[in-house]
Structure formats: structure tokens, C-alpha cells
A and B are shown apart, each in its own frame.
Chain A
Amino acid sequence: MIEVRTVTKRFRGVVAVDALTLCLGPGITGLLGPNGAGKTTLLRMIATVLAPDEGSVTVDGRDLAVADQRVEVRRRLGYVPQEPGFHLGFTAFEFVDYVAILKEMTDRRARHDEVRRVLALAGLDDVRSRKIRALSGGMRRRLAIAQALLGSPRLLVLDEPTAGLDPEQRLRFRELVTSLAPDTTVLLSTHQTEDVRALCQRVIVLHAGAARFDGSPDRLATTAAGRVWTAAERDPRAHLAWVHADGSVRHVGEPPAGAALAEPTIEDAYLLLVGRHDDSVASRRRRRSRAVA
């Protein structure tokens, strides 16, 4: 169980996460939000690599502000940073083995078995002896996922884990994540709404450091009900409009009377949520920045 209580984080006076409160249980939770929404900052705080300026984060009752408890959380954590670096001179096996040692797996034989297991899970057993510099971007991303799976962590924090993966690899990733133990808490941020729809029991839309939506993907889609329509021509009153392959124009926004309403999707709802808040949030952020300064 992750509890985020009125957490605020600023960078040089700019608010990245704004008095956010969340409670996450086992299962897969997706974080959606535009760039700069605070997703990565939130994940970094939960992954114990960043301390909040205000508020508190607890994982399974352990307060991340307390050093010993923070270390306890790290023992149960698997983390894929947004930009995971790699020691390019290491082989895939050596890299995961190195991380395994840092995860306190000191028994060599057991550790190597575990390294082989996670590499196989990530589909990298064929390239485990290959230097990382010789791996493709997708393979490296899978390597990052593999190291996060070491020790079957109870908490998995994945920052854009499917970025750079091809369709097949994304499907394999979905298979992998959904095969995790049911009591595992998975928090992943992504720009891929298909991943959210396919994987997550819960989705949180973050914008300007605050949660704009917290619920199931289906419920997110329903927030756009009655505000998505199709027409033969582009309607300038729409918040956003685009032409479908069949030539019809899909609109998101407040529909005109008599419009042909369409079935809303997560993307529609996301666009409406984020777009609606854009102006007001930007101005509020500026005000806060000035206040902090």
C-alpha cells in the first residue's frame, strides 16, 4: 500500500507536484499526463530517490522520510527510471547481476539463478552474454525492466517502461506485467493510452502536479460521454478535431445540438481533462512560483 499525503515538490521554485494525495493498493495503476505534469517526480519520490519538500510518502506503512524505513522499502522495490542508464561495457548478465548485488543478493549461486530468471522473463536470455553497447534500444529497455523484476518486488515503479518498444515487445511487456503476483503493486507512467486500457485496473491523470482523475480506465472514458461526436465537416467549436480514415471528423468538446455522439475513449477523456485545465493551471502555477520565490 502506497500512501502519498499532501506531497509537494518544487524545483527552483517551480511546483512539480502540488499537495498531491493518493492511496495505491495492489494491482496495476497507470499514470497519465502530459510532459511536465509531475509524473516522473511523483514516481521518483515513491522510488525513494527524491524527497518531497512537504507531505509524506509511506509504503506498506514505512515512512520514506525515515532512513531505515526507506531502506526497507528499497528492498521491496523494483524501479525503472524514465531514462535508465547502463554500463555499456557490461554484458546484460553482468549488469543485472551488479544490480542484484546492490539489492543485497549475496549468495552467488542463487543470485545468478535469479538473474537468469529475470533475463528470461524479459526475453533476453539469448543476449545475456552480449555487451550492452551492442543491444538495441528496445533490448536495453527490456534490460531495465529485467533488473526491476529482481527478487520479485512487492512494489514496481515503472517510468514509461514501454517507450521505444515495438508492438510485439509491448505485448510481451503486458504479458509480463499481468503475470506478476496479484499482491504486487505496480505503478507505471506512460503516454500510451492503449497500455493503460490493456493493463491498468486504475488510472490517475496527473496535470500540473495535481490529480485530475483517479478511477478505472472505463470510468475515465465515461467522463467524456456526450462530448465526443462525429460530423462530415470540421466544427470550429470543438476543443480538438481530427479526420478519421473513413473521412468523418471526430470532435472532442461541447457538441452542438443534434450532433451525432460517438462512443468516448480514454484518449477523448484525457484530452478533455488536460485541455480544460491547461489555461487555468498554467496561470496558477505561475502565481505559485512567484509566491515561492
Chain B
Amino acid sequence: MKVVVAFVVIVTLVVGTGSVLAAHERRQGEADDEAGSSVALLALSWVEGRLLVRHPLFWVPLVLSLGVMMLTFGWWWSSDVVGPQTDAVWLMAITAAVSILGLLLASNRTALRTRRDGTRELVASLPTAPRTRTAALLIGGWLPAFTLLAVTATAVVAYVVGRPDLDRFRWEPVQLGVVVVVAYGAVVVGVLTARWLPVAVSGLVGVVAVMLLNNTFDHLHPQWRWLHVLPEPDFGGIFDLREDRWHLAYLLALVAFAVGIALARHGLRPGVVALLVIGGLGTVVTGWVQTRPPSLAEVAQRVAMLEEPAAHQTCETHGAVRYCAYRQLGHFIPEWRAAAEGVLAAAPDAAKPAALDVVQRPYVHTVDELLPEVRAALDRDAAFGADGDVHPAMQLHLDHRHTEVAYMTAASLVGLPPSVAVGNVACVASGQARGMVALWLTAAATPEAATSLRERAERLTPNAVVVLDTVPEWGTGDYEAVVGSGAAGGDLLGALALHELPVAAVQAALAAHWDDVLDPATPSAAVFGWLARPVPEAVVATEKVVPDQSDGVFRRTCA
């Protein structure tokens, strides 16, 4: 509710201050004549729209953002993670964010143009009414909004065409609509602040107000955050109650209300009152729809999605493995399948399970982001129990796309916990043969997984914990873990040394000693003995060094 109160307070402050300033100007003898016609409305709208598109505060940030995006795309894409929110609009929003704020400032400056440039007197002698000039700016504002959509969409298409491997962009018309409405809303806020707060800094006031309203009050609340213009995108994820179209309707109503406030500066004419009423009611109704308490059935449905995920997911069975992903993330399954099948192909026959479930589930900490009603009804042990299954994350790191599931599958084969469970404490199989074997199986799974492990090995310190989570940083510091176990840096180096040997040779040695592999007491160095190979120095060192487990969730040794 804080966001509602903040919105009302800010609007009241702007309108109240504007009224005081207007009264002061009238006392100074300034013209305050609302008489005039609207004949020129459309012609003026077109001109104002074109001027906004040409405004440097709009196109310079847009061009710079596009340039930065083009230059850094490879970098940030390669280091980024895809998930349910990874759709085209996300990329467009990043590209457009600065220019949307620039658009707010541009429309504000445009609306203050007569005042700033001293043409008020001339314009006051012309037959077009002040309200028509305001309305023309508000109508013309759609032009830069759609221009922004076209430019950013074209840029995203260009990115995607240039990178054929990026085939996971979703093009949701509703979300594209959000981009347009948010950009248009920026124009409206710029005009609104200019009309009610006709001072040079009013544009900045608008920017600060928007950022304040969008990024502070209740912005992490599972329910109330939907009252923000652009809520945190990956918060609550697929367990939310609301739908994109309701948010679009909410934004449209909010913008209509803001248009009404801007036009109200020229008097409460019937059309303006209608806009205020429709916009206000629309905002309240759509805001309520998005933040309403869930019904019992909705609560039960979301609890079931968490406690029995496979029953609510898209599942495919290939060989002994069943893969299940939430509906929006079915495109992860081919990646998981490549990883799991690679591990199973490298594993000795004795290690291969009769059946294995790879079932997606959210992070343990997602519980804190659920609606309170869902959270209260949820059995956490059922949802996040240590069931021995492989539970991939809700996101996928494209440069490490096979690593997480490959390691989880390998961990399940060697008797290590594949996934983190309730309590969110993972273990470290430091210096244990099974930990190193799990890492070797991971490297052997796919070339991508092997590359990923090599990259991580380059960044290792001797006593580091090897965490093969979706994102390398996860599981350390304040990040949440997905995998249930890790190994020591020396184990990874040992695994990579094994990876240099023929797979069949390693496979045969492991097959001969599989029971030893499963024994937590078997040291990593033993594997090299089975292969009659010298033990790498790093592996020897691992036996003497206890990895630093003080930071993150890897706080115990795997028993």
C-alpha cells in the first residue's frame, strides 16, 4: 500500500505546488487565458510528435544505448542467464530505459518551450487554445513511443539474426504494448510536470518521482509490486497470480489518469473529467485485480505446482530419464537431455540408474517471494525435500548451459546430493574420489560442459569451493545455491587431468572400482592409482587443504 500512498502524495504535491504557482502568476499579471480553438489539434500533434522524436534528449540516449548494446551484446549475453522472463521485451527495455527517461525530459522541455524561449506572449495572441497545445503534445507523444518500439524491436531482431543460437526470445504482443505505454507514459509525466510545475527542474522532478515510485515503495512485495510501472521482472516468477494483460490495462488506465491531470491544468472540462474518472476507476480496478488476495483454489493450485511440480510441468521421457520443466521453460529440456545423456554415456554401466528424474524446481528462497497465503499453505519439505532427484534451476546460463544438469546427474550417480534442499545448506566433497569423478563425468558429458569447467578452473584458488551452479557466483556469498554439493579446486583440476585421458580407459577403471568411488572415504588420488597415473600436485594439495566454506551455503563436508 505504500506505493499507493506515495503516488497520491506525489501527485498532490505537484498539483498543489502548481496551483500555488499559477495563483502567484495571476497576481503578477501573467496571461491566464484558456480561450481558443482546437482546430489545429491534429496538425499540431503531428508536429509535436516529430519534434519529440528529433529531440536530442530522446534520440541521443537511444543511439548511445543501441551502440552500447551492440558493442557489449556478446559479452553480456555470454555471461547472462535465460529464464521465464527472457523475452524480447526484456532486451528492448534495457535498450530503451535511458531514452524513456530522456523522453520524459524531452517532453517536459518541449512543454515548457514557450515559457523558456519567451514566446508565451506571441502564442497567447494566436487562436489555438493552451489546452489544445497540451493535448497536441499528449497525442504527439505516441509517435516517439512507437518509434522507440520500432527501433528497439529492430535492434533486437538484428541481434537475434546475428546470433542464430539465440532462439529463445519470446515476442509477446502484450509486453510489446507495455514498452509503448511506458514510453508514452514518460511523455505524459513530462507534460504533466511541465504544466503543473512550470519550472526548469520539473522534468528532473518527474524523473525522480518516477524512479522513486517504481523502485522503492513495496517494490519487492509479492503482491503490491504490481502497482509499479515496471515491476521486478523475475520476482515470484510463474507462481504469480496476475497476467501481463492486466498490467498493460493498469498502465493504460494510469496513463489515462495522468493525461487527465495534465489537461486539468486548463480547467475541468467534461472530457477531462471523463478521463480522470475512467483513468482513476480503471487504475483502481486493474490495480485491485493484480493485487487481490488469491482464492483458495488459486492457493491450492500454486501449492501443488511447488509440492508436486512434475504434475504441473511439461514432461518428456528419454531412456531411463524423465525430464520435466514448467510450461514456460520447456525449451530447457533439450539442453538438460544433452547434459544428462552425456553423463550417462560416460558413466560405467554399474553406475547407471534404472530411472532418473530431472524435475525443475525453484530456488529454496522462492518461498519468501510467494504470496503470503501460498507461503502459509506450503509444505516446505514436500516442495524442497532432499529426494535425490535432479532439480535444475528456473534459469539457464547459456555459456554453461550443460554444466549444472551434467554435474547434478553425475552427483546423483556417485551418491552426492544433486540438489540443495530445505535449509539451503550444501555440502563439499573435498578430496573425495566421488567428487572428482562427478566432475570428470560432467566434463565428459558435452564439449560445452568441458569448456565451462576449464573456464572455472582458470579462476580457481587452491582452497576454493567448486560450485557448478547455474551461475558460477551462485552458492557463494549471498547467492542462493541450486546444486546440493561441490568439490575442491584440486578435485576440478584432477577431473580435468582425467578428461585428458581416453574416456574408455577412465570408464573401465571406474567400473572396476565403482564401490570405492561411492565410498566417501576414498580419496581423489586413488583414482589416478587405478589408472596407474601420477597424482597431480593439485590433487595432493587438496587432501591437505580444507576449502574455505565460511562464505555461502557450502558449509559442511559431504558425509
Contact = CB atoms under 8 A, between A and B. Distances in A.
B125 A48 contact: yes
Nearest to B129: A71
Interface string A34-51: 000000000010011111
A97 B51 CA distance: 13
A77 to B, nearest CB: 6
Interface stretch (A101-109, A183-191, A263-271, A284-292): A101-109
A104 B40 contact: yes
A85 B122 contact: yes
B119 A85 contact: yes
B47 A49 contact: no
Given A74-B127, A104-B37, 6 more contacts: A12-B29, A47-B125, A88-B117, A102-B128, A103-B127, A104-B128
Contact of A50 (B29, B123, B127, B128): B29
7 contacts: A48-B33, A71-B35, A98-B47, A101-B43, A101-B128, A106-B42, A106-B43
B16 to A, nearest CB: 25
B32 to A, nearest CB: 9
Given A98-B47, A104-B127, A147 B122 contact: yes
A280 B44 CA distance: 51
Contacts of A79: 122, 125
B118 A85 contact: yes
Interface string B128-171: 11000100000000000000000000000000000000000000
Given A50-B31, A84-B122, A86-B119, A108 B127 contact: no
B40 A48 contact: no
A64 to B, nearest CB: 10
A12 B114 CA distance: 25
A74 B223 CA distance: 54
A86 B113 CA distance: 9
Contact of B127 (A75, A111, A147): A75
Which of A50, A71, A104, A111 lies at the interface centre, i.e. has the most chain B CB atoms within 10 A of its CB? A104
A11 B123 contact: no
Contacts of A147: 122
Contact of B117 (A11, A87, A102, A103): A87
Interface string A146-159: 01000000000100
Given A71-B127, A147-B122, A104 B117 contact: no
B35 A68 contact: yes
Interface string A60-87: 0000000110110011010101011111
Interface of A: 11-12, 44, 47-51, 67-68, 70-71, 74-75, 77, 79, 81, 83-88, 97-99, 101-106, 108, 111, 144, 147, 157
Nearest to A9: B29
A102 B127 contact: yes
A70 B40 CA distance: 17
Given A44-B121, A71-B127, A102 B31 contact: no
Which of B118, B122, B133 lies at the interface centre, i.e. has the most chain A CB atoms within 10 A of its CB? B122
A85 B117 contact: yes
Q: Which 7 A-B pairs have the closest CB atoms?
A: A85-B118, A67-B35, A74-B127, A85-B119, A102-B126, A79-B125, A49-B124
Nearest to B32: A51
A83 B39 CA distance: 27
B43 A70 contact: no
Contacts of B29: 11-12, 50
Interface in B148-207: none
A99 B127 contact: no
A187 to B, nearest CB: 13
Contacts of A106: 39-40, 42-43
Contacts of A98: 47
Interface string B346-377: 00000000000000000000000000000000
Nearest to B115: A85
Contacts of A47: 125
B37 A71 contact: yes
Nearest to B35: A67
Nearest to A132: B117
Interface residues of B, number: 28
Contacts of B121: 44, 49, 81, 83-85
Contacts of A50: 29, 31
Interface in B81-126: 113-114, 117-126
Contacts of A103: 40, 126-128
B125 A104 contact: no
Contacts of A67: 35
A101 B119 contact: no
B67 interface: no
Nearest to B118: A85
B122 A81 contact: yes
Contacts of A111: 43
A71 B120 CA distance: 16
Which of B39, B125, B129, B133 lies at the interface centre, i.e. has the most chain A CB atoms within 10 A of its CB? B125
B334 interface: no
A129 to B, nearest CB: 15
A48 B119 contact: no
Given A71-B36, A85-B119, A87-B119, A108 B125 contact: no
A108 B43 contact: yes
Interface in B419-476: none
Contacts of A88: 117
B126 A87 contact: no
A77 B31 CA distance: 17
Contact of B40 (A51, A85, A101, A157): A101
A128 to B, nearest CB: 17
Contact of B126 (A11, A12, A74): A74
B123 A102 contact: yes
B118 A83 contact: yes
Nearest to A76: B127
Contacts of B119: 84-87
B458 to A, nearest CB: 53
Contacts of A157: 125
A44 B121 CA distance: 8
A170 B125 CA distance: 25
Interface in B189-243: none
A47 B126 CA distance: 9
B117 A86 contact: yes
Contacts of A97: 47
Contacts of B122: 79, 81, 84-85, 99, 144, 147
Contacts of B44: 101-102
Interface in B11-63: 29, 31, 33, 35-37, 39-40, 42-44, 47
B57 to A, nearest CB: 12
A45 to B, nearest CB: 11
